[in-house]
Amino acid sequence: MTDAGFVRSPSAQTLTSLPIGRRRRLIAAAVWLAAALPVVGAGAQTTSDTAKANAPVSIEVEARPIPSFDTRDRSHLRFGMLQYRSGLVLTSKFAGFGGLSGLRLDPKGERFIAVSDKGMWFTGRIVYRGNTMTGLSDIEAAPMLGADGKPLAARGWYDTESIALDGPLVYIGIERVNQIVRFNFGQDGTRSLAEVVATPPGIRKLPNNKGLESLVVVPKGLPLAGTLIAISERGIDPDGNLVAFLIGGPTPGQFSIRRTKDFDISDAVVLASGDLLILERKFSLLSGMVVRIRRIPLKSVMPGVTVDGPSIFDADLGYEIDNLEGIDAHVDSDGSTVLTMVSDDNFSMIQRTLLLQFTLVDE
């Protein structure tokens, strides 16, 4: 599909009014094209231009509420083991806004750090009215900086797809080059400089554009505490399962996650209960976009094994989804586990940046 084809495509606001079949085909085509085409890195800049471009900037993000997750039945609130709380469609006049591929929240589910797949940080705060998200505030955008103080994107390390927090440290996974970098975010925030993390040789062998898609650090008090779990989007082992790595921690090594129904992994989060939630998606021109979440006991994860778990959430384009790429969890004041998901719009006019929240309902 050419750029001219996108110009003639319907806008994101009118997309939801299209028949589901056509909507599926349009979004699947946009996601496929975004995955297939390379992204051009930053060009040469003068010293003064670079310093100006690297400084964090305040931006405005508009938020439109999503009253119902089910586009056909507003009274439908329960979806598998998740109950819909609220959602927002996010837009901004800031040219670099979009492509959100991961986010992490503070323990209250308010402050956030998000990353885009063009090497950008976005930080800010989610605004609530009761349990309902109403908007974002205090938002800043800045490029991720390498050890030389220049944007990572300038050296071709732009496809930043995954994020994990470990106290003041932030880990970022970069596809295409299959590297992990670490930032001392607690000290310097978005001005911190990247430090390359030593990784197992297998990570360098992952597919160019289906590599490091998920990072998560296991917190204290849980099995594998202190381990950085790195999961590939579609790195396949000899048995056809998805490759993942345990970096550091008590038992470093490689393991696999059983691949079923052609789903790829887009993110993960560890719950306080000791479960690993895997956010997955698949798309085709015929079926469109489908997402699901699988629940895997963390105690089953160890080097050399293949783990699996049941799906607790499934949704297609009959619901308010898009290219969901990020997931995180926090515990609300009433003790409920809240899942927050964000979508990558691929900077396409026929896709949307969604922020969705659900309560995890244990049965």
pLDDT, tens digit, for every residue of 139-179?
999 999 999 999 999 999 999 999 999 999 999 999 999 99
The strand order across the sheet containing 111-116 reads: 57-58, 132-143, 120-129, 111-116, 100-105
Q: What is the mean pLDDT of residues 170-199?
A: 96
- The DSSP output letter for 241 is P
Neighbours of 260 (CB within 10 A): 14
pLDDT at 362: 80
Calculate the average pLDDT of the chain. 89
C-alpha triplet 350, 355, 358: angle, nearest 5°: 130
Q: What is the mean pLDDT of residues 39-44?
A: 44
- Is 220's pLDDT higher than 60? yes
Confidence band for 44, pLDDT divided at 50, 70 and 90: very low
Instruction: For residues 94 and 341, give the distance between their C-alpha atoms in angstroms, rounded to a whole number.
Output: 22
- Is 287's pLDDT higher than 90? no
Single-letter amino acid, residue 75: S
Q: Which helix (H) or strand (E) holds 51?
A: helix 47-54
Nearest to 67 by CA among 85, 80, 90: 85
- Is 28's pLDDT higher than 90? no
Q: What is the mean pLDDT of residues 354-362?
A: 96
Confidence band for 14, pLDDT divided at 50, 70 and 90: very low
Side-chain half-sphere CA neighbours of 323 within 13 A: 28
- Is 109's pLDDT higher than 70? yes
Q: Which helix (H) or strand (E) holds 31?
A: helix 20-36
Please state, for a pLDDT cut of 90, what percent of the chain lies above it: 81
Residues 316-351 have pLDDT tens digits of: 999 999 999 999 999 999 999 999 999 999 999 999
- Is 283's pLDDT higher than 60? yes
Q: What is the mean pLDDT of residues 183-206?
A: 96
pLDDT at 30: 54
pLDDT at 295: 98
